[in-house]
Copies of this chain bind each other. A is one copy, B any other.
Amino acid sequence: MSSTWGQHLMLSIFGQSHGEAIGVTLDGFPAGMEINMDRLLGEMARRAPGQSPLTTTRKESDAPEFVSGVLDGKTTGQPICILIRNTNQRSQDYGEGVDLLRPGHADYTGHVRYFGHEDWRGGGSFSGRLTAPIVAAGALCSQWLEAQGVKIACHIQQLGDVKDASFMDADPSADYAYLKQMHLPVLTADLDAQMETAILATREDGDSVGGVIECMVCGLPAGLGAPFFDSVESSLSHLLFAVPGVKGVEFGEGFGFASMKGSQANDAFRMEAGKVVTETNYSGGVNGGVTNGMPVLFRCAIRPTPSIAKKQQTVSLKTGENADIEIHGRHDPCILLRAVPVVEAMAAIAVLEMWKERQGCLT
């Protein structure tokens, strides 16, 4: 089912970009957690447009309304519904009905999928705007996980041709909280400035640019996940590929494994302070689909924003003929910086699902 995910923590989204509201229902969230609303709003602000010259100037009012599941600032254990009103609906930017199919967008596939009845306005059900309530839901999960000692950090590892270092070569015990404060979170000093230059140049050119987000989840116990269909990789990738624009996901060395030998790729086990650890972490913290207690490390490839100012070739649904299209409106030259908190949210949601599954196995 397209709008629901999870068995132990169930996430259900609703809403279209230009309908009345969008939202999310989170069922199975633990009872009794005091919500840090400031931090939650901070996460949402990172995703919101109009926050910096690097993103679209379009403003969205992303004020989340907690419709249920919270009492006196604490979660009640009942389903949490978070609603976000759509207040800045400039449908006129999008024309009347689907006609010229925007290349790289879901105009055409949505039209076929919903038999021509789809709410096509602003991307409808496909809009990246639906990630706003997901970020709110993920922030709740992150706060709960942090109280258990789990920390999630993300940075932009690649933006166009600019490449950052990897968590693989970094100290997992370091404090990466500073990444949340950066417009362009990177591990290497001054690289954000280079990326900013690249983005501005791209916008100037009426174009857009892709990249890679890298994520590390530290503090997980060994034993989360399962072989085969509930592998850590299956659960995480399922959610990550749900994020608009994600076209690749890899764990640990990922595609780099292709040119490695087993003798290089195997992470040697060692005892350290009475605990089993691995000397390297090429597997990204997962063996056989199950966490091994090392940081879970993964990367998402994100395609360049399809909405560009340049003229493009396409098809007119109305005439059934080839046509040109020029997309106006306010768009992101690079979705990566706004995608970072979404990837973090998805990671937190997937981890809490696995955590609860594991908790149910204790006896």
Contacts and interface: CB of A to CB of B under 8 A. Distances in A.
A74 B117 contact: yes
A271 B322 contact: yes
Interface string A70-91: 1100111111110100000000
Contacts of A83: 21, 67, 83
A118 B77 contact: yes
A117 B304 contact: no
A341 interface: no
Contacts of A16: 68-69, 76, 78
Contact of A1 (B81, B208, B229): B229
Interface string A238-271: 1101101011111111111111111111111111
A23 interface: yes
A25 interface: yes
Nearest to A77: B114
Nearest to A6: B1
B78 A124 contact: yes
Interface residues of A, number: 156
A68, A112, A258, A268: most-surrounded residue (chain B CB, <10 A): A258
A229 B222 contact: no
Given A255-B301, A261-B208, A27 B2 contact: yes
Contacts of A7: 1, 7-8
A219 to B, nearest CB: 16
A313 interface: yes
Nearest to A291: B109
A101 B248 contact: no
Contact of A257 (B256, B274, B302): B302
Contacts of A231: 2, 241-242
A119 interface: yes
Contacts of A223: 109, 112-113
B305 A160 contact: no
Interface string A13-34: 1111001111101011011100
A356 interface: yes
Interface stretch (A44-52, A177-185, A186-194, A282-290): A282-290
Contact of A101 (B20, B276, B284): B276
Q: Specify how many copies of this chain sit in the oligomer.
A: 4
Contacts of A246: 233
Contacts of A266: 103-104, 306, 308, 312
Interface stretch (A35-43, A166-174, A209-217): A209-217
Interface in A330-363: 356-357, 359-363
B276 A67 contact: no
A265 B304 contact: yes
A182 to B, nearest CB: 19
A175 interface: no
Nearest to A236: B241
A28 B12 CA distance: 13
A10 interface: yes
A56 interface: no
A76 B222 contact: no
A314 B277 CA distance: 10
A292 B103 CA distance: 11
A312 B268 contact: yes
Given A247-B251, A248-B255, 7 more contacts: A2-B289, A22-B67, A109-B289, A210-B258, A210-B265, A249-B250, A268-B314
23 contacts: A1-B10, A1-B27, A1-B229, A2-B226, A3-B226, A4-B12, A10-B12, A12-B27, A13-B79, A15-B68, A16-B76, A19-B69, A20-B68, A76-B118, A103-B267, A109-B225, A109-B292, A161-B259, A205-B261, A233-B246, A234-B242, A237-B238, A266-B306
